Amino acid sequence: MRDKLFIDGQWLAPVEGGTFPVIDPATEETVFHAPAGTARDIDHAVRAARRAFDHGPWPRLTGKERAACLRRIAGIILARKEELARIEVRDNGKPLPEAIWDMEDTAGCFSFYAGLAEELDENPEEAIALSEPRFSSKVVREPVGVAGAIIPWNYPLLMASWKVAPALAAGCTMVLKPSELTPLTALELGAIAEEAGLPAGVLNIVTGLGPDAGQPLSEHPGIDKLAFTGSVPTGAKIMAAAARDIKNVSLELGGKSPFVVFADSDLEKAVEWIMFGIFWNQGQVCSATSRVLVEESLYPALLERLVVEAARITIGNGLENGTLLGPLVSRGQYEKVLAAIARGAKEGATIASGGKRPAGLDTGYFLEPTILTDLAEDNFVWTEEIFGPVVCVKPFRDEADAIRLANDSRFGLAAAVMSKDRARCERVARAFRAGIVWVNCSQPTFTEAPWGGYKQSGIGRELGRWGLSNYLETKQITAFEADEPWGWYIKG
């Protein structure tokens, strides 16, 4: 594991020489001491990225040339996916099969944006038809410049790829700051980029604590664009910092996503997708469908099956065969989730299942899958993002009631609907105030499709061609083509 920062193509010790512990959430053991970058390291990294953008080859390469490097990165990730996945499990706690899937998706993300980089060559400019025949006009797209990316701990390397891949495809340079809870695979990405032949300074990786490294990155005047994924409170601080210099900003923030299940749904399929929507990755998913709304006539049977199946989920160390639910990422997150459950119960919720440490797992940040019922609409656990394996289940009367309850949230990242009536699914999908809607499923995520939310769930879209547009500026070039003089001031 890497014990130095990756800046300007070199592995450098932090200027102040500090480190911070990396803790395995399944054992609570310190497995590594990562380099703790500070404002001086961030400044060094931003200056390196600026030189690479202003004077280096990367923005001036063709899309095809950049694509070749992105595909090499993808190939190295695939070749190392088992090793990288095991590092991710030690760092994050998720089950190994999930981590392997993450590595495959990470490689796929770099490959996808390699293809879009090549498409930039195919469409370098767009002619604009004008109402004035003496002028011609065209639009070109150019890289936005130096990007700063701050990523979360729930999908460490995958979330890095969602920002790094499109930024590099566009021709930008970048400073990447991973979460201090999960820094290890981000540092490995530096080694992978180096092996793939990425020019020095194009990708710089600075690990460190949020106030010491994340804040200086968001406030640095040398950054042209900020991309952040994480909580709403931190996103608000990032946005405020960006406002001082009027930086381009994209934010992917929290959610409290609804899953509406109508009475004609297949019971077993509904229970399976409800569990996948909240217990995958220990519920530490911004789009988790943590508010389940069930039509009244189906509610008792569904709740009974959900309680039974949730209790059967195998909990344990992510590196152990058969584990389907690992530990929460940190002691702080574990205590936060437990406190939320306790507050919800105090406000009247019933703990139908779970809510405590599993028997026999006395070490590690483990929590049983938790199902809460009897929820008032203003209960804390119904309205606030918990970010753990906690699902709130509530009955609804009819379609209008379901839509009202689903949309009654300050968040709007995702939503799901299940019914055998596809026309009804389409109506409800259109009625949701959310950026992502799933029909008869929950959580499938594809690199080709846009990702982002309404309301306090963020600004902008990642993934797909929309993700590439995050890192491109649009320039108009207009020319006066007539031989005649303009003649506004000088007559004759």
- Buried b or exposed e, range 313-350, using 16+ CB within 10 angstroms: bebbbbbeeebbbbbbbbeebbeebbebbeebbeeebe
376/302 Cα distance (integer angstroms): 20
31/43 Cα distance (integer angstroms): 29
Residue 188 φ/ψ region, left for φ over 0, alpha for ψ in the -120 to 50 degree band, beta for the rest: alpha
180/156 Cα distance (integer angstroms): 10
> Token digits for 283?
């519920």
Residue 28 φ/ψ region, left for φ over 0, alpha for ψ in the -120 to 50 degree band, beta for the rest: left
CB of 282 closer than 8 Å to CB of 328:
yes
In the block, which residue shows the tokens 């909240």?
Answer: 278
Nearest alpha carbon to residue 183 among 14, 9, 387, 367: 14
Phi, psi for 141 (deg, rounded to 5): -115, 135
161/8 Cα distance (integer angstroms): 19
Active site residues: 252
Beta bridge partners of 228: 150, 251
- CB-count exposure of residue 268 (10 Å: 0-12, 13-18, 19+): exposed
Encode 414-431 in three state secondary structure. Answer: EEEEECCCHHHHHHHHHH
442 SS3 class? coil
> Token digits for 479?
């020319």
Spatial neighbors of 233 by CB under 8 A, at least 6 apart, are none
> Token digits for 121?
């060559």
CB of 286 closer than 8 Å to CB of 255:
yes
What is the crossing angle of helices 299-311 and 267-279, to 10°? Answer: 50
